[in-house]
Amino acid sequence: MQFLLAARFNRLAFAGALLAFAGCSEQPGDTSASAASDEERAQVLTEGPPRDMEAPEVFQAAANGLWDGRPSLGGIWVAHPDVDTPERVIVRNDETGASVVGALFRRERENPGPPFQVSSDAADALGMLAGAPAPLEVTALRRMQTTAEDPEIPPEPGDDADNPVADADTRPAPPPERPAAG
């Protein structure tokens, strides 16, 4: 019997809370809203989500990259000797056609090997083999706010319509499989 009384009380409390909150919403025809709030609502409706846009003026290079085969820390990243400050970049493997968004760091010039050093996570996402140099294109990214007037911006690799570009350690879909030789 106590269970039935508790259930009935919970339903009544829920209905009362709904009625209380219903009075808080703006009703049609209510002219008490300020013009500023109407402008704010219009701005929210016309702005799109922030998108990463390529910024080759910040950093862009095409050169071989190498993953040495060892596990690395820090997610998806590449390192290049001409970098002054860390950047968010898109890395493309010209051999496999795969691309990934990650971080760009400075690499010591004295280290032997190709200009780009590649993390294990980046190598995995780009379809690179350990110890095998691969041609990479690396371009800096800048986050831009889109508006309704902006032309249609194509989605980035690994990006779906409901999910804006995620942080640098997000992995895209695996690269397409290569046909068997022979």
What mean pLDDT do residues 50-78 have?
A: 93
Tell me which fold the domain 61-144 belongs to.
Barwin-like endoglucanases (2.40.40)
The label of the residue with tokens 């030789």 reads 181
Confidence of residue 106 (pLDDT cuts 50, 70, 90): very high
Q: Residue 39: which H helix or E strand, with range?
A: helix 35-46
Is residue 65 within 8 Å of residue 133, measured between CB atoms? yes
pLDDT above 50 for 35: no
**Where is pLDDT greater, at 87 or 173?**
87
The residue-averaged pLDDT of 145-160 equals 56
At a CB cut-off of 8 Å and minimum separation 6, what does 13 contact? none
Give me the residue spans of the domains in the chain.
61-144
Say whether pLDDT at 121 is over 90.
yes
